[in-house]
Structure 1
Amino acid sequence: MTSSSSASEPVPVPIRVLLPGDQDVVGRLWSRRQVRDGWLYEVGIPAYRNGPWDTVEPAEYRVWVRAPQHVRPLEGVSYDGVPVEYLEPPSLVERELGPRRPSGWVLAKAGGRGPGRGTVHAVDCAEAPAGAPVLTLDRALDAAQHPGTRLCSLCGAAAELDPVLRGFDRGFGGDD
């Protein structure tokens, strides 16, 4: 995240904070943060706390709340000086390809006798067995070379591992 705040210490500004039970209180706005599904505001709400020797002293309870659901601006107050953290825009790769998949593969062992019987899946495949150990690329390739093992085409394990096993020139005018 990048910040547009200045290097000086932030000065909170008053803001109306909507509390449960149809209550509201004037609190202090410390900062704002853009998140993927909207905005969060860091507000300080006045409270009391127990001090030394059975005293009671004023305090501030800070909490992040959703805007505009839990806050309202006060008329005449400028919020321009409040520090703001913006989401960094996704990179060109993230925009084009989407979020990264988890790395690794798992082997779903099939019933029957003999080693190497089963299916290699990507970690996030819906058909992958829960709790199976995650295989590195080398271990997944070793498992895939056994005659009784197949590569899942649902999750793309076949598309990802088959070229490594059989060569990258398949489908480009070579012997298909």
Structure 2
Amino acid sequence: MESGDAGHRTPPITVILPDGQEVRARLHARRRQENGWQYQVGILIWRNSPNGAAEPAEHRAWVSPAHARPLPDVSYQHVPTRTDNALPHRRQPAWTIQHLPHRPGHPSATLIHVIGCTPSDHTLDREQALAALNQPRAAACRECAAATSLTPGNQQTAP
């Protein structure tokens, strides 16, 4: 993994461009606002230098979960996460669901995350997360301790 200018890890992520192309980018930050999650992604593109030569330059933009897709087996736990303090406080933890597609030698699977661990636009309450976890080929993310937050009696609040 590479380090960004803030010294944090910038894991790779897939970004869906307006014309439908999918490109590899870097996830620099994520933030939760009143209208949902947003992800700051950096895409490496070409720009003209002062001497007229083409040089690589990173373009950063904030995108919605519909335009950013996590990569399997990539940890996003070190990505800086911001929450708007004006948002109402949640009484129950919230989780997200990630569907991993079938790959040769690996059947499709489902991962349950604590909200903010992986970009997703599908949030779940406690009952929905437990129901999803009980489905075949479903597991809790080890990076964000989703399993710990879903154990009986553990009623912690979402980050």
Select the structure that is richer in helix. Answer: 1
Higher relative contact order (CA 8 A, sep 6+): 2
Select the structure that is richer in strand. Answer: 2
Taking structure 2 as the reference length, the TM-score comes to 0.49
Taking structure 1 as the reference length, the TM-score comes to 0.45
